[in-house]
């Protein structure tokens, strides 16, 4: 029987028991096949599980019960946090950097070094979005969302179909219901139960590309924050920054806070 260490993190959390729970499994000294990783991810029953393999050519990967997944904002921050704690990052003075492999490309993250403790974590990306300006009219959208037209009608923000990594229905409102952010957001789909608020980090590239596409968004650097949920439903706070320059790809930085909530051992049969 193997005793595999894991850490439970609250990602994009500004207080304990908030944000999104991400388990990170430390595979130091162990080698697990795909089936074993899927089984472990299923055991945690969280949206995704990060695996860290110190010494491996690709030291970080993400799984859920269906198999290997792409990195998203939550899992990038979780992997970076644990990489810092395990000494896998590169010191840059007041911060450290970490490279994650995504298909044939790399994602670089930056971790504030608070006297040996990981602080705020941020990663940078260049976005090449596909934008479709055709969307159903407001009447049809309101009917699909089972709400009144006045709740989704804003002169400044128009519906768009924007794709970078994924396709999800993201509903947002200017302002915050939890305080301190410029936007409040929620993912919607027909399979979600009432009162369920899935993580929104994976659609932040799409949301940033959407904001950059707005005609009233001037060229230059823009910063904003967006929250999800509430104190009663695991509030998350995500901070973002993007550069809009004519004729160039949108470059963005996405970041937030990670809180370590627990550590333990998972007993797994020898392979």
Question: The domain that contains 186 carries what CATH number?
Answer: 3.10.310.10
CA torsion sign, 71 to 86 to 228 to 184? negative
Q: Same structural domain for residues 97 and 146?
A: no
* pLDDT above 90: residue 35: yes
The whole-model pTM stands at 0.90
Quote the CA–CA distance of 86 and 54 in Å, as a whole number: 8
Q: Same structural domain for residues 162 and 236?
A: yes
Q: Same structural domain for residues 62 and 103?
A: yes
Q: What is the CA radius of gyration of the chain?
A: 19
Quote the CA–CA distance of 267 and 119 in Å, as a whole number: 30
Extract the tokens encoding 88. Answer: 């896998």
What is the average per-residue pLDDT within 151-176? Answer: 83
Domain interval for residue 58:
2-121+258-268
Q: Are 208 and 242 in contact (CB under 8 A)?
A: yes
* pLDDT above 90: residue 155: no
pLDDT for 143 equals 86
Would you give the DSSP letter of residue 146?
T
| 3-class DSSP state of 121 | strand
Q: Same structural domain for residues 147 and 239?
A: yes
Q: Same structural domain for residues 96 and 28?
A: yes
Q: Same structural domain for residues 167 and 148?
A: yes
**Count of the separate structural domains present in the chain:** 2
Q: Same structural domain for residues 79 and 18?
A: yes
In this predicted structure, which of 147-156, 219-228, 234-243 has the lowest mean pLDDT?
A: 147-156
């Amino acid at each position: 029987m193997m005793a595999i260490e894991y850490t439970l993190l609250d990602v994009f959390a500004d207080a304990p028991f908030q944000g999104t729970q991400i388990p990170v499994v430390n595979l130091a000294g162990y080698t697990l096949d795909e089936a074993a990783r899927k089984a472990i991810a299923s055991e945690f029953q969280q949206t995704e599980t990060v695996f860290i393999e110190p010494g491996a050519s690709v030291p970080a990967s993400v799984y859920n019960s269906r198999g290997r997944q792409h990195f998203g904002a939550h899992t990038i921050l979780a992997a970076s946090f644990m990489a810092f704690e395990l000494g896998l990052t590169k010191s840059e003075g007041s911060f450290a950097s970490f490279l994650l492999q995504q298909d044939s490309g790399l994602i670089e993250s930056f971790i504030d070094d608070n006297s040996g403790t990981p602080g705020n974590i941020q990663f940078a990306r260049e976005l090449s979005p596909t934008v479709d300006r055709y969307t159903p009219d407001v009447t049809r959208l309101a009917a699909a969302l089972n709400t009144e037209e006045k709740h989704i009608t804003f002169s400044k923000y128009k519906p768009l179909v924007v794709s970078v990594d994924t396709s999800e229905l993201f509903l947002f409102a200017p302002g915050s219901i939890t305080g301190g952010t410029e936007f409040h957001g929620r993912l919607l789909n027909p399979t979600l139960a009432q009162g369920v608020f899935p993580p929104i980090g994976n659609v932040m590239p799409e949301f940033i590309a959407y904001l950059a596409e707005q005609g009233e968004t001037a060229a230059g650097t823009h910063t904003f924050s967006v929250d999800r949920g509430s104190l009663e439903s695991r509030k998350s706070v995500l901070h973002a920054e993007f550069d809009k320059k004519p004729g160039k790809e949108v470059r963005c930085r996405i970041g937030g806070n990670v809180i370590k909530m627990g550590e333990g051992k998972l007993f797994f049969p020898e392979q």
